Amino acid sequence: MNDVAHATDAKLFSFADDTSLCVSDSNTLFQTANIEINKLCDWFCANRLSLNAKAKYIVLRSPYIKCALDDLNVVINGIPISCFGKNLKDNSKFLGISID
């Protein structure tokens, strides 16, 4: 796992066996996220590891920026992952921290 950061141009945050990808892009956020996830998938596959398709993504943005998120997808190995926060009862863990 020590060299996983070299597999992507995005920032990675890791804690124990959890790894989170942080992508920042003003125009092509979802395209960039999918490209970086594919790079990680290739690294995980080459190292005989797997990514959890139960993952969720979250979009953090200014409330003054309007953008349609419903028609955009993030996928892991062709499987769409859900957006955290669309449901008010959502709760999840981010690197050991509970988010609700």
Structural domain boundaries in the chain: 4-99
Which H/E stretch holds residue 34?
Answer: helix 29-46
pLDDT for position 98: 72
**Which tens digit of pLDDT belongs to each residue from 40-88?**
888 888 989 877 656 778 777 777 777 666 667 888 888 888 777 665 5
Greater pLDDT, 33 or 96: 33
The backbone torsions φ and ψ at residue 37, rounded to the nearest 5 degrees and listed phi first, read -65, -40
Q: What is the pLDDT of residue 8?
A: 86
Top mean-pLDDT range of 30-34, 85-89, 93-97: 30-34
Closest CA to 80 of 53, 58, 60, 59: 53
Rg (C-alpha) for the chain, rounded Å, is: 14
| Residue among 76, 94, 95 nearest 84 (CA) | 94
Tokens of 81: 């992952």
- Residue 61 has a pLDDT of 74
